[in-house]
């Protein structure tokens, strides 16, 4: 006699637990949607409108390499990276032919299309890494090959 009553109570508790679980899931889902909608509304507002103005006032990069004319900036979808190893070979060749160059002057020694893909920050990174490895020496901003190179 007690067994059917206990089974019935267990069934009632299981249904109540399942209903509470579903309500919790529904409440959680609604809270998540409300949070996403609030954040999407915040994302539509411009974060820093002054940033675009500052970016427009910057000088174009690599203007010295193009003979003083402003370099045309291509959209990111058209830009490609220089193949691996091109930066080091460009820096090494430029510094071996004429030591005491600044990073922007090293870019002027680019001869083929792959070397022209190299960006100024890449040259600076190569010089910094090479300086730590003992390949290059910096003297007042002018770079040269070290004796080890």
Q: Is the pLDDT of residue 103 over 60?
A: yes
Higher pLDDT, 104 or 81: 104
Residue 87 DSSP one-character state: H
**pLDDT > 70 fraction of the chain, expressed in percent and rounded:** 72
Global confidence as pTM: 0.47
What is the average per-residue pLDDT within 73-78? 65
Own/partner long-range contacts of 58-61 (Cβ < 8 Å, ≥24 apart): 61/119, 61/120
With a cut of 80, say whether residue 3 has pLDDT above it: yes
- Buried b / exposed e along 41-69 (16+ C-beta atoms within 10 A): eeeeeeeeeeeeeeeeeeeebbeebeeee
Highest mean pLDDT among 60-64, 68-72, 77-81: 77-81
Q: What is the pLDDT of residue 124?
A: 94
Tell me how long the chain is. Answer: 149
DSSP string, 27-76: HHHHHHHHHHHHHHHHHTS-S-HHHHHHHHHSPPTTTTTTTTSPPPPPPT
Q: What is the pLDDT of residue 47?
A: 55
Q: What local confidence, expressed as pLDDT, does residue 88 receive?
A: 92
Asked if residue 62 has pLDDT above 60, the reply is no
- Whether pLDDT at 97 is above 80: yes
Please, which pLDDT band fits residue 146 given cuts at 50, 70 and 90?
confident
At 102, the pLDDT band (50, 70, 90 cuts) reads: very high
| Distance from C-alpha of 91 to C-alpha of 106, rounded to nearest angstrom | 6
At residue 29, does pLDDT exceed 70?
A: yes
């Amino acid at each position: 006699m007690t067994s059917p009553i206990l089974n019935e109570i267990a069934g009632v508790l299981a249904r109540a637990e399942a209903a509470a679980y579903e309500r919790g899931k529904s409440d959680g889902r609604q809270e998540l949607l409300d949070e996403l909608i609030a954040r999407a509304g915040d994302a539509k507002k411009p974060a820093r409108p002054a940033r675009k103005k500052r970016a427009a006032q910057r000088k174009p990069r690599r203007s010295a390499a193009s003979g003083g004319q402003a370099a045309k900036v291509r959209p990111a979808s058209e830009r490609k990276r220089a193949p691996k190893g091109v930066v080091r070979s460009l820096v090494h060749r430029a510094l071996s032919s004429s030591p005491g160059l600044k990073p922007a002057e090293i870019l002027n020694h680019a001869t083929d299309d792959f070397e022209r893909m190299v960006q100024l920050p890449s040259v600076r990174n190569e010089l910094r890494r090479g300086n730590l490895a003992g390949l290059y020496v910096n003297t007042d901003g002018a770079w040269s090959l070290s004796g080890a190179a």
